[in-house]
Amino acid sequence: MIGGLRLGLRPDRSLPGWAERLLWLFHGFVEPGIQPADVNMTLSLLTRTGNKNAHVELLEEAERLLSQRFSRSARDADCKRQMYSRFEDLSRYWPSKSLVDVVSRFVEDGPGSGIFLPLDGGCLALNFEGGHAQLLVDPEACANAMQTVVSACILACAVSLPLVSGVLLHGAGVVRNDRAFLFLGPSGAGKSTVAWLSKSDSTILSDDAVVLTAEDHRYRLHASPFTQTENEMATPQRIGTNDLAAVLFLNQGHDVRLESVNRAQALIRIFNSHVHFLGFLPRDRLRQTFELCLGLCRSVPAYELTFAKNSEFWDCLEELPLP
Complete DSSP assignment for 7-46 = EEEEE-TTSTTHHHHHHHHTTTT--TT--GGG-SEEEEEE
User: Torsion over CA of 25, 31, 37 and 38, rounded to 10 degrees?
Assistant: -100
User: What global pTM score does this model have?
Assistant: 0.82
Other beta carbons within 10 Å of 1 = 14
Query: Three-class SS of residue 216?
Result: coil
Q: What was the pLDDT predicted at 318? A: 86
Q: What was the pLDDT predicted at 293? A: 96
> Which of the residues in the chain have pLDDT under 70?
13-16, 48-113, 118, 121, 140-143, 229-240, 323
User: Torsion over CA of 141, 146, 149 and 150, rounded to 10 degrees?
Assistant: -140
Q: What was the pLDDT predicted at 98? A: 34
Helices (H), the chain: 18-25, 54-70, 77-93, 145-160, 191-198, 263-273, 283-299, 313-317
Helix (H) or strand (E) holding 166: strand 166-169
| Amino acid code (one letter) for 274 | H
Q: What was the pLDDT predicted at 103? A: 31
> Roughly how many angstroms between the first and final C-alpha of the chain, as a whole number?
27
Q: What was the pLDDT predicted at 35? A: 80
What are the residues whose beta carbons fall under 8 Å from the beta carbon of 217, sequence distance 6 or more?
295, 299
What are the residues whose beta carbons fall under 8 Å from the beta carbon of 125, sequence distance 6 or more?
58, 61, 62, 65, 114, 115, 116, 133, 134
DSSP state of 165: T
Distance CA 281, CA 141 (A): 28
Q: What was the pLDDT predicted at 282? A: 80
3-state secondary structure 241-264: EEEEEEEEEEEECCCCEEEEECHH
138-170 confidence digits (pLDDT tens): 776 666 777 888 888 899 999 999 999 999 999
Q: What b/e sequence results for 157-190 when a residue is b if at least 16 CB atoms lie within 10 Å of its CB, and e otherwise?
A: bbbbbbbbbbbbbbbbbbbbeebbbbbbbeeebb
Query: Three-class SS of residue 86?
Result: helix
| Amino acid code (one letter) for 110 | G
Q: What was the pLDDT predicted at 52? A: 54
Q: Where are the domains of the chain?
A: 7-164, 167-317
- Number of residues assigned to the chain: 323
Q: Please state which architecture CATH assigns to domain 167-317.
A: 3-Layer(aba) Sandwich (3.40)
